[in-house]
Structure 1
Amino acid sequence: MTAIVWVKPEGAELAEVELGQDRLRATGTAIGGDPLPYQLEYDLTTGERWITERLFVKTYGPGWSRSLELINNPAGRWTINAEAEGQVDLPPPGGDPAAVTGALDCDLGLSPLTNTMPVLRGGFLQRGEGEHLMAWVSVPALVVIPSRQTYRHARPGVVSYASERFTEDIVFGADGLVENYPSIGRRIRP
């Protein structure tokens, strides 16, 4: 188990990550301030080839909380369970599972962790390029949205990421975890 801290432009994230030969298990906590102050907790489990099996996320702030559970069966069919309590100016959590059918991975918004799965599975730290449909989870609203993302090997340890509205070069460490995702988070080492 590895403990990681990422410092973000508007917050921080602490994750405990167990990265196996083709699996990942992680729990984490994050805080943020945009579009409103919130705390987030998550639990992520993948199966073989780092394919998401389950993501549970909870966000909360003064007077409100929401939770989201994403379950991916081996055929790429997702189950989405969401709950919300209290009043907050955010869209309702959840989404249409049919919109992310075929996605292998979740992508937890503002977390550097979930980029690890498609990058390791595709071998993009060494070579290649690939497009992936992701079940992207907005934070702190916890809305699930389909997101087409491209990962491309740029140079050793660096992968170029692109989605419809965003591009960035992501630096990975030798352990396969994100070191620096410039607009999302930078890993702090003791």
Structure 2
Amino acid sequence: MLKEQGHEFASLVAREDVWELSGTVIFVHEGHPTRIDYLVICDSSWSTRSVNVSGMMGSERFTIDLEVDSDQSWKRNGVAQAEVFGCVDVDLGFSPSTNILPIRRLALDVDEKAEIKVAWLQFPSFELKSLTQVYHREGGNIYRYESGGGAFKSVLAVDDIGFVIDYPGLWRAESAT
């Protein structure tokens, strides 16, 4: 997760039978200017189908392409990723925007909770790992979030669409429009 100062622009667009979550994150990481662009494609049920992450950290360029089939088998740049088999959602470790995916997919009622496993693209290593997460909808736009078996806990405030607008100590939206 980002603790450094920076900015992100993210958008969610419905196109025919898919959802497109895209954005750009710009910040300084360990003294290096960093720009990361991402595009996540989900089907109509909010299941992740593809992810493209590209950018620069200092002078180093990178591109990561993830593909997910209907059996939740993942490939990274064409290579099978057994570690994340069965994961429905992706979590981009450099942005809170991908929290919208399980929030929309699960459509929890107030006081409902769900435990899921996500394909977590860690930052800054960009390793892909399985991560257990718990979402507990405590109020209309408030979710208690846990990951790593409770090792990390936070209370997320989201807007009416499901984008995180406050991730205490890590991220806060400057504008929700």
State if a TM-score over 0.5 links the two structures.
yes
Q: Give the direction of change, closer, same or farther, for the CA distance of 1:184–1:70 in structure 2 (3 Å limit).
A: farther
Partner of residue 76 from structure 1, selected from 58, 72, 92 = 72
Counterpart Cα distance in 1 of 2:105 and 2:6: 29
TM-score normalized by the length of structure 1:
0.80
C-alpha distance after superposition, 1:54-99 (max 9, x if no partner): 11001313331111111110111001118xxxxxxxxxxxx96101
Larger RCO, structure (CA 8 Å, separation 6 or more): 1
* Percent of aligned pairs with the same amino acid: 25
Tell me the residue number matched to 2:46.
Answer: 50
Q: Give the direction of change, closer, same or farther, for the CA distance of 1:176–1:63 in structure 2 (3 Å limit).
A: closer
Q: CA deviation at 1:128?
A: 1.0
Counterpart Cα distance in 1 of 2:96 and 2:57: 22
Counterpart Cα distance in 1 of 2:45 and 2:122: 24
Counterpart Cα distance in 1 of 2:170 and 2:67: 25
Residue 168 (str. 1) matches residue 162 (str. 2): no
Q: Give the direction of change, closer, same or farther, for the CA distance of 1:51–1:174 in structure 2 (3 Å limit).
A: same
Report the AA paired with residue 159 of structure 2.
Answer: G
User: Which runs of no fewer than 5 residues in structure 1 stay unpaired?
Assistant: 1-6, 83-94
Q: CA deviation at 1:36?
A: 4.9
Tell me the residue number matched to 1:10.
Answer: 5
Q: Give the direction of change, closer, same or farther, for the CA distance of 1:166–1:33 in structure 2 (3 Å limit).
A: farther
Tell me the residue number matched to 2:106.
Answer: 122
After superposing the two structures, state which structure 1 stretch, 69-78 or 175-184, moved more: 175-184
User: Which runs of no fewer than 5 residues in structure 2 stay unpaired?
Assistant: none
Counterpart Cα distance in 1 of 2:169 and 2:98: 15
Contact 1:111 1:184 in 2 (8 A): no
Q: Give the direction of change, closer, same or farther, for the CA distance of 1:99–1:62 in structure 2 (3 Å limit).
A: same
Q: CA deviation at 1:135?
A: 0.5
Residue 136 (str. 1) matches residue 120 (str. 2): yes
Tell me the residue number matched to 1:158.
Answer: 142
Tell me the residue number matched to 1:31.
Answer: 26
- Runs of 4+ deviating beyond 4 Å: none
The number of equivalent residue pairs is 172
Q: Give the direction of change, closer, same or farther, for the CA distance of 1:167–1:60 in structure 2 (3 Å limit).
A: same
Contact 1:59 1:140 in 2 (8 A): no
Tell me, what secondary structure is at the counterpart of 2:45?
helix
Q: CA RMSD in A?
A: 2.5
Q: Give the direction of change, closer, same or farther, for the CA distance of 1:117–1:62 in structure 2 (3 Å limit).
A: closer
Tell me the residue number matched to 1:105.
Answer: 89
Residue 182 (str. 1) matches residue 168 (str. 2): yes
